[in-house]
Structure 1
């Protein structure tokens, strides 16, 4: 009879611990990265890619840049606030040769932020990285024109411009416009660059990213 309260307490404690982990978005994904690093240390002087699903789903990343050492640390669905929160665990520790960031689109898609707020979040991330890695080159890939998020495109474009203007004043920082190349001659979104969900990119979309990014990689 005395075992019942103990088992109940044990189960309750485990449940609380599990809830605490899940209460922090992406904690399990970040822990998986850390476990990978413990199992096999990543190479030094990598080009670190981080951000949301467009990075996470870039499955051909190494093949697209065969002469570079790249490391994918994207976690799908993340916002700039998440990339900021986990920067000390998925960006700074690697002391990368260069950092490539794609983030902000999910912030805009929340419908709760202005373009200025998205820009300010990027500045917070940039500043945080700079404090630990003052000389590491940083590339920000502009937010893309996702067909499923057409209603947010005005904010997306404004936020892109604000971030571009900020980066132009920084050292060792570059802004990569991929928004424009993903439009046709009439300024319409090229549907073939996206998967059926009209959000995530098809291989053709990544081909454009690869071609535009190659000249910027160290």
Structure 2
């Protein structure tokens, strides 16, 4: 009987240790797709990388930014902590000269506080600059949306934290246009800038990105 109980205990311990890391597995397919794309056409280091959540994932770079060579490494539904989990494979291995970052809204919708999200963003930028000290980071303000109008004030809090980080580090550029230009004169999200779900952007919404972001999409000279 004792041997049986011991065997059951050991098997349960083994099972616990063998349980999958759901945080790693959550975006396994998306990250594997990045690996496959890199294997098929290895990207050069020192370029432009877009990363973040679904607004990045759904961005058609050749269509919105014709003539711009850049990698799209966004994955829908992601939070900044998810980007950090996969940072090596979605950003760092490319040693980018310029990173365009849009993330944080899903975090707040998932009930994380602005303080928690700021901490995750601090990890993101710290690890980026540790690998590529001369890189430039463009942070797009979390955009208000019809679906998430209830957290507009919390989004503004997070955007203020992004802005503060940019003011403290000349390598970071914070673009408030990603927030301001999606609101009408009464401060409400403009419907035609969103698709039917009231969350993701329409072509008109991405056209605004094209307008304000294009001037910044220049690879900075890197020291060797």
The answer to whether structure 1 residue 133 and structure 2 residue 138 are counterparts is no
For residues 37-96 of structure 1, give each alpha carbon's deviation from its aligned partner in whole angstroms, at most 9, with x where no partner exists: 11111244321000000000012x123222321110100000000011111111011112
**Partners of 1:22 and 1:55 in 2: CA distance:** 20
Q: What are the superposed Cα offsets for residues 23-45 of structure 1, whole Å, 9 maximum, x if unpaired? A: 62101210111011111112443
Separation (CA, whole Å) in 1 of partners of 2:141 and 2:22: 31
Change (3 A) 1:91 1:22: closer
Alignment of 1:189 onto 2:186: no
Show the 5 A alignment for 1:64-79. Answer: 64-79=64-79
What is the CA distance between 1:18 and its match in structure 2?
11
TM-score, normalised via structure 2 length: 0.84
Partners of 2:97 and 2:134 within 8 A in 1: no
Alignment partner, residue 12 of structure 2: none
Cα distance, 1:146 vs. partner? 1.2
Q: Distance in 1 between matches of 2:107 and 2:89?
A: 21
The CA RMSD measured in Å over matched residues stands at 1.8
Which is further off, 102-111 or 36-45? 36-45
Structure 2 match to 1:82: 82
Counterpart Cα distance in 2 of 1:64 and 1:90 = 21
Which stretches in structure 1 are left out of the alignment for 5+ residues?
Answer: 1-16
CA distance in 1, matches of 2:26, 2:81: 11
Alignment partner, residue 41 of structure 2: 40
Distance in 1 (CA, whole Å) between partners of 2:22 and 2:31 is 11
Q: Is the 8 A contact 1:46 1:70 kept in 2?
A: yes
Tell me which residue corresponds to 1:5.
none
* Shift >3 Å, 4+ stretches: 17-23
Which is further off, 40-49 or 131-140? 40-49
> What are structure 2's unaligned runs of at least 5 residues?
1-17, 219-224
2:154 alignment partner in structure 1: 155
Partner Cα separation in structure 1 for residue 19 and residue 209 of structure 2: 38
